[in-house]
Amino acid sequence: MDEQNYSELLKKVKSSVQKREEKKRFQIPKPEIITEGKLTIIKNFRDIVDVINRDESHVYKYLIKQFGLSGDISDGRLIFKGKPLERNIEKAIQEYLRIYVQCYECGNYDTEMVREFRNEVIRCKACGAERPLYAHKEIKYSEEKIEEGKNYELEITDLNRDGDGIAIKGDITVIIPGGKKGQKITVRIDRIRKNYALGILVKKA
């Protein structure tokens, strides 16, 4: 191996290690939730939105809509005028992260929301992957689980940067090579990873 090729390989290795370390350091604060009378408060709301690099009003509007409640932001706290269950607040925050923050390629949360032409795009700072946002805004949280080897009826709502189909089942993103956006298909789950699953297209609707 010549010196130039060795240098390029070394750069790639260092870059890969750096990205893994950045992902490891990127920690999202656990929501600190308290109740005061008829109010439910996320005490560290501003800390959370600062870490995920999102506008606090955007996160606020999403969470308020999920519970059909009114509320307010005061001194870095989100205040619900009502008493949603703490576990449901945590689930709603996780769903926001999955839809509006998490990279579908590498699972990293260090992303940014940018506007390209008329579309909002999620861009990953770790791997550079991009995905349009519009197809994911109405996805709701589900506790339904998926299993390897089983078939599921899915609808492809988006494509990743490699042109593979993306569908949602419960709280898992399923990547389907050969799938086309808008298709309703039968998929067999081949492998399940921490943040996504790989599916095999079995039949088109």
SS3 content of the chain, % helix, strand, coil (to 5): 30, 35, 40
Q: Residues 42, 78: contact at Cβ < 8 Å?
A: yes
33 contacts 41 by C-beta, under 8 angstroms: yes
Residue 156: give its domain's CATH number.
2.40.50.140
Q: Tell me, yes or no, whether 121 lies in a domain.
A: no
Instruction: Inform me whether the pLDDT recorded for 98 exceeds 50.
Output: yes
Residue 7 lies inside a defined structural domain of this protein:
no
pLDDT, tens digit (0-9, with 9 covering 90-100), for 13-65:
455 444 444 444 568 899 999 999 999 999 999 999 999 999 999 999 999 98
Task: Look at residue 76 and tell me if it is in a domain.
Answer: yes
Total domains in the chain come to 2
Reported as a single tens digit per residue, the pLDDT across 130-147 is 887 754 444 444 445 788
Amino acid at 184: K
Name the residue range of residue 41's domain: 33-100
Specify whether 93 is located in the same domain as 39.
Answer: yes
What is the residue-averaged pLDDT of the chain? 81
198 belongs to a structural domain: yes
Q: Could you tell me if residue 55 is inside a domain?
A: yes
pLDDT, tens digit (0-9, with 9 covering 90-100), for 155-166: 888 887 778 888
Q: What is the pLDDT of residue 8?
A: 63
Which helix H or strand E contains 48, and what residues bound it? helix 45-52
88 assigned to some structural domain? yes
Strands (E), 6-132: 33-36, 39-42, 71-74, 77-81, 111-116, 119-124, 130-132
Residue 101's pLDDT band (cuts 50, 70, 90): very high
In this prediction, residue 195 has a pLDDT band, given cuts at 50, 70 and 90, of: low
Of 100, 125, 144, the last residue of a domain is 100
- Please indicate, yes or no, if residue 64 is contained in any of the structural domains: yes
Q: Note whether residue 112 is domain-resident.
A: no
**Cα(101)–Cα(114) distance, integer angstroms:** 11
CATH number for 57: 3.30.30.170
How many residues belong to the chain?
Answer: 205
